[in-house]
Amino acid sequence: DVKVTQSSRYLVKRTGEKVFLECVQDMDHENMFWYRQDPGLGLRLIYFSYDVKMKEKGDIPEGYSVSREKKERFSLILESASTNQTSMYLCASSFAGRAPREQFFGPGTRLTVL
Amino acid sequence: ELKVEQNPLFLSMQEGKNYTIYCNYSTTSDRLYWYRQDPGKSLESLFVLLSNGAVKQEGRLMASLDTKARLSTLHITAAVHDLSATYFCAVDMARETSGSRLTFGEGTQLTVNP
């Protein structure tokens, strides 16, 4: 079974703190994704990566950055957390290429910024 | 910009009844996914629809895709309580270099009452 794990299920941080969210997958997937999920808005893509050290902006990259130093690990960084970044963050991974590939999701990290 | 709209957003139904969830999208695509999310859990892949006219069935759920109408449906037959969850459709705007990139609908929160 594909396994996507995230470093924390729940996280509480203060405004202005630097926040790291970690995601690890064990299926040798090329692609990895970070989404945030908010009620009524579905899932929105923040950033994705299709190879080590490669990244592309998604639909809402402002206030976030990412790092992918190893194929299995994809980190989301909030340089200076703000209250409007309180949300559920979901990581996903998939194989690359044109062939349709399902994305497999991690359990999510619920981040609260006070 | 691709828009994906689901309706209804909230659905309360009785056990044993049938109903359909609709997913409309604004840009040509021949790849669409349905996911299920239980409260507090991550997203689980239900169906992958890869071409016009595709139909997939699993238990009491059946999904179809009409790429000309830019419409997918998720039909529920003889609902049972275990189907209570939030259902998301996601449209795949796959790219040559990096593979799939999904845009999600807002989600339909389904509650099946005894």
Q: For B73-109, what is the HEC assignment?
A: EEEECCCCHHHCEEEEEEEECCECCCECCEEECCCEE
Among the residue ranges A39-48, A80-89, B10-19, the one predicted with the least confidence is A39-48
Q: Do B99 and A45 touch (CB under 8 A)?
A: no
At B13 the pLDDT is 92
Which CATH homologous superfamily contains domain A4-97+107-113? Answer: Immunoglobulins (2.60.40.10)
At B79 the pLDDT is 94
> Where residue A39 falls among pLDDT bands split at 50, 70, 90?
confident
In chain A, domain spans: 4-97+107-113
At B95 the pLDDT is 61
Distance from CA of B48 to the nearest CA of A (A): 7
Is A60 near chain B, with CB under 8 Å? Answer: no
| CB-nearest partner of B98 from A96, A100, A105 | A96
**pLDDT(B97) > 90:** no
Compute, in degrees rounded to 10, the torsion defined by CA atoms A37, A51, A100, A6: -40
Distance from CA of A16 to the nearest CA of B (A): 27
What sign for the dihedral angle of Cα A45, A50, A51, A54? negative
Is A84 near chain B, with CB under 8 Å? Answer: no
Interface test with A, best of B7, B102, B109 (most A CBs within 10 A): B102
Compute, in degrees rounded to 10, the torsion defined by CA atoms A45, B111, A84, A11: -90
Is A101 near chain B, with CB under 8 Å? Answer: yes
In chain B, domain spans: 4-113
d(CA A108, CA B22) in angstroms, rounded, equals 26
Which CATH homologous superfamily contains domain B4-113? Answer: Immunoglobulins (2.60.40.10)
pLDDT: which is higher, A87 or A51: A87
> Where residue A67 falls among pLDDT bands split at 50, 70, 90?
very high
Q: Do B100 and A103 touch (CB under 8 A)?
A: yes
Is A108 near chain B, with CB under 8 Å? Answer: yes
Q: Do B99 and A101 touch (CB under 8 A)?
A: yes
